Chains A and B, each alone.
Chain A
């Protein structure tokens, strides 16, 4: 194997490793950045925008205040605070990489004000991050 090919493979491996690192979170136009007490979270939905009655998934990247990837567990609840009811579905959480998570199985069955709550647990800095979402028809 030529040295050039070796360098290429090593560079590829480094890029791959870098792409799995969520921290520090970099602002982009396609996601929302929200700060909790001890963590910062980047939030985006697929598809975007969310539609009433259609399933969607949520991608999260989470870092703590030392720019370390969050390695704990996430519990999510999604409600319409005014009506005091939640979804008809319980999303699943999949770890996608260091500090990266994909939550699948969301569905908002009504237009109006919804609220995501993400409880970050399993570390010495438990945190709760809330995101408000106005769903149009």
Chain B
């Protein structure tokens, strides 16, 4: 009887281990390769060649101050941080925010922007400093102006001093557009430092690479099953690929883009139009990179009819912390996003060829697993970055 009981338990344990319960060996060779391609994280630190302030500690400190400064907006009402709230992973937690008027697009996070090539849901900017100018001047958002920004910098002795230290130029001797661009470059330099630490997924991915079984086993089984869907049958990595979980480009996933009666958000189509007209794009005089390297995309990007309804493929890092979702904030929770893809409305997808997107039709367990995986992409900001501040003699300058 003793032996029978022992055999029963051994059999039971073997049986429990058999189903696809998130074991690492359940990944195919292709899925493993795909998983490895989602890292390593963080990416190597490289300076933005278009921005002379990139990596400059004094400019970073100035940018941090300005990010929280409401004087850059009309009537001192709004700062960057009022919509990109640090306590909400630099989002606002709302579907659509209001600055001076109703805004028609959802506020994205500004974390992990280093190395991105297009900014804004429609890719209206090809660099982070130009993207930082946009809300300052937008009538719907901060409703500021180049003159206002210059006045704030030149009339505040502390800011003026920090500007001089950061850029080696007296803002009082510069024109309003030059001051605006350098302020934006300082803002961009600070935002570049907002990089997250390794997430639970990154630790699993690294363990998979090195064969560290113990570390692999620490990753939740549900997340492994969700990862298998993500990297396999779900085909999520067609667009959400690489260490940033985004191809950096644009797609139409069937989210409605009507913004009011008779008005549509043109998405990428309009974004390219704005980009090409902007004096702050990388083809313009404010680009600090005198080589052609940073200009390639902007020079060659092509506006096509299919760009209508396309919006930026967002990074999925910290995705569990940045609800609501989509370019218009129309999907409330991450579980709803999984439902959205599971029941995708094919009628709304415009495609001539083989469908890239198709409904996943996941069972409840599959949905829960995919959600569990997405939740492992969260990580706090790098501790060294959070503490970054540069002592400066300017701090003693009295306003």
- A residues with a Cβ closer than 8 A to B are 52-53, 55, 80-85, 87-92, 104-105, 107, 109-112, 136-137
Contact = CB atoms under 8 A, between A and B. Distances in A.
B95 interface: no
A124 B137 CA distance: 55
Nearest to A104: B296
Given A91-B300, A137-B34, A53 B241 contact: yes
Contacts of B239: 110
B92 interface: no
16 contacts: A52-B247, A53-B242, A53-B248, A80-B353, A84-B353, A87-B302, A88-B301, A88-B304, A88-B307, A89-B300, A89-B301, A90-B300, A92-B299, A105-B300, A107-B249, A110-B238
Contacts of A137: 33-34, 37, 237, 241-242
Nearest to B268: A88
Given A109-B249, A137-B33, A137-B37, A89 B352 contact: no
Contact of A83 (B33, B302, B356): B356
A40 B281 CA distance: 39
Contacts of B300: 89-92, 104-105, 107
B10 to A, nearest CB: 40
Chain B interface size range: 20 to 34
A45 to B, nearest CB: 14
Task: Output the residue of A81, A84, A88, A107 with the most chain B CB within 10 A.
Answer: A88
Contacts of A105: 296-297, 299-300
Nearest to A112: B238
Interface in B239-278: 239, 241-242, 247-250
A109 B37 contact: no
B306 interface: yes
Nearest to B38: A137
A131 to B, nearest CB: 19
A81 B352 CA distance: 10
A110 B296 contact: no
Contacts of B353: 80-85
Given A110-B239, A137-B37, A137-B241, A85 B306 contact: yes
B25 interface: no
A112 B241 CA distance: 13
A85 B239 CA distance: 15
Given A55-B297, A84-B353, A92-B299, 4 more contacts: A53-B247, A55-B296, A89-B302, A110-B238
B233 interface: no
B249 A90 contact: no
B299 A110 contact: no
Given A53-B242, A107-B297, A88 B249 contact: yes
Task: Output the residue of A52, A81, A82, A104 with the most chain B CB within 10 A.
Answer: A52
